Copies of this chain bind each other. A is one copy, B any other.
Amino acid sequence: MAKGARKKYHKVGFLPFSVSVRVPERSKILEAVQMAGLPLHTPCGGEGTCGNCIVKITKGTFGAKATAALSGQLIAEGYALACQTKITDDLMIVLPHFQELTIESVVSPEFCKDNKDHISGVYEHNPAVVMTELQVVSPTLTNSTSDLRRLEQAFQKKTGIKNVTCPYSVLSKLALALRSKNGSVYVVSFQEREDATILDVFPRSGEKKIYGLAGDIGTTTVALHLVDMGNGEIVGTATSLNQQIKCGEDVISRINYAQKPGHLQEIQKLVIHTINNLIHAATQKAGVSKEDIYCAAFAGNTTMGHLLLKLDPHYIREEPYVPTFNDLAFIPANELGLSMNPEAKIYLSPSVGSYVGGDITAGMLCTPILRSSQKISLFIDAGTNGELVVGNKDWLITCACSAGPAFEGGGIKCGMPASEGAIETIELNDRGQVKCKVIGEIDAKGLCGSGLVDLLAELFIHGFIDRYGKFTAEKIPDRIVETDEGKAFLLVDASKSFWGKDICITERDITNLIRTKGAVFSACSLLLKSVGLRFDEIDSFYIAGGFGQHLDVENAVRIGLLPDLERKQFRYIGNSSLLGSYLILLSDKNRKMVQKIARQMTYIELNTEPGYMNEFTGSLFLPHTDMELFPSVGRILARREQGKRE
């Protein structure tokens, strides 16, 4: 550069973060990403070979040339490799994982009604936040009662509620609201027993709807339903990765991250941004104003709850593992910085303790466990952390295990959440040929949880991997490819995949999946033993978690994730934390039930149970070191051997 010439800078923005940085001309996109503090894994070390750092450029010009890791067609569609592309223009960039923000337009609340026999928290539309039409008497010289008092009187008369509180923010709108339409107003109120708080008041003109949010604040994924509080209809759903993921993939890393000065503020902002982005997306799509959201029910594990409230999660991971709170009163939205009406009431599903959180208590509402004293059920949520509950109406015990994010696509070379482009079911034939189903009408991008379960089971049952999870390569030499992470089984050829690169599973991925399923199974087994129960005494087995819509129970048993019970005893209930939040949002009775569930649960610490390591080690095989536990799998393997001999 000529002496004295000014260095040229470009502005690079990142979606969906609302983050932007200024970087010198000809910096690489990867450098801008790192400067912005955003997550982007580059296993090949920035050599342009692994293709993991693919980004989409939605604004600005750039130059890129087709390579093995990036097809010409993808370049034409605006994709580039961050490690190879130099910045010569102002750019707006979407990072790969964050493209997974999905919006479903209208989901029916019929699901809950249809499933009412299966869930304890009955679908009921009786929310604490309601909108009421009121006719408030106009003042005269002989009745000069204050605006507030006249409103209270009209409200009391209509609802029968005696104690009415009107916060300061509403007071400032009152005079005008009461006078605009001769005292005809809509009042939004939060009602609890004999008390009501007025959240908003406005003149009655046209139709007016109020909305609520049900949310699952997962360590990996955050999912929201936008709900019409008038009829319970879900008018939008939005899901994305939790932006906190850049601070670590599991709760322990997040807790550690939060310890450094300023980090607690930062990590809270990341989850608030995540939620606000989802609110933005869902309300835009549904044509709803954020100001019309007056309530929310969120569920998340105990650490997520603490970070959402900017509470130091330090003591959660320190003996005696005591959280700051388990159950809280409603929190005003404005204290958290959430994009909704400032007076909106936020409820967090209660935790049981440091390692069994509100996602589990909310999830329990979606099971019928609390309906029977006779039958014993088991509930398992296999998210990044696995949590289990066993019991019935009269007793409940619970434990947690560190499963890892493998079934949510985390830590797996071609893993991804269960969203558009994810392979959700897989079948192999004897020659290793693949038949798979992808979510959405596009080419495959990667593998979600249910696809990984299928793949592991099919590889094992067809003998393409052994009981240790190692490739028996001689059988299918043409399906085994070499990658930068070692040998891999090829599922989708680069030419047929969305990103233009091979979709495959490595031996390392398989080991990872086996550890995860082993952690879950051994926890189930140990929890039952701790109360003197056997698997065959369990009546029903409820499975929740981020596997995706199509978890195949048969395959889950074949890999030893689930015990070898009758298949009809299993029920996959999906994201029960989100569904439970929805039930809580719409019914104060369900809110009280979830509080009761939290109080009733007894927490068992597995690590201190004798035999923990034995159980876990025994589970690190397909399906298990003790084949007698999996007779049906034994029969299949026997048939396979017999078929080979024939």
Contact = CB atoms under 8 A, between A and B. Distances in A.
A135 B311 CA distance: 22
A221 to B, nearest CB: 25
Contacts of A141: 319-321, 605
A241 B128 CA distance: 46
Given A148-B324, A148-B326, A176 B309 contact: no
A314 interface: yes
A353 to B, nearest CB: 6
A362 B564 CA distance: 76
B172 A310 contact: yes
A538 B353 CA distance: 69
A133 interface: no
B325 A168 contact: no
A139 B315 CA distance: 11
B147 A325 contact: yes
A139 B175 contact: no
A437 interface: no
Contacts of A171: 309, 311, 324-325, 328
A328 B147 contact: no
Nearest to A603: B144
Given A172-B311, A329-B165, A354 B323 contact: no
A218 B286 CA distance: 50
A18 interface: no
Contact of A312 (B175, B314, B331): B175
Interface residues of A, number: 45
Interface string A167-197: 0110110111001000000000000000000
Question: How many of these chains are in the complex?
Answer: 2
A147 B316 CA distance: 11
A324 to B, nearest CB: 5
A320 B144 contact: yes
Interface in A550-603: 603
A148 B322 contact: no
B311 A175 contact: yes
Given A165-B329, A168-B331, A329-B165, A147 B322 contact: yes
Given A148-B326, A168-B335, 11 more contacts: A141-B319, A144-B322, A145-B322, A146-B322, A148-B325, A149-B326, A166-B329, A168-B336, A172-B311, A172-B312, A175-B315
Interface of A: 139-141, 144-149, 165-166, 168-169, 171-172, 174-176, 179, 309-312, 314-315, 319-329, 331-332, 335-336, 351, 353-354, 603, 605
Chain A to chain B: the 10 pairs with minimum beta-carbon distance, closest first: A139-B322, A148-B325, A146-B326, A141-B320, A147-B324, A168-B335, A175-B324, A139-B320, A144-B322, A146-B323
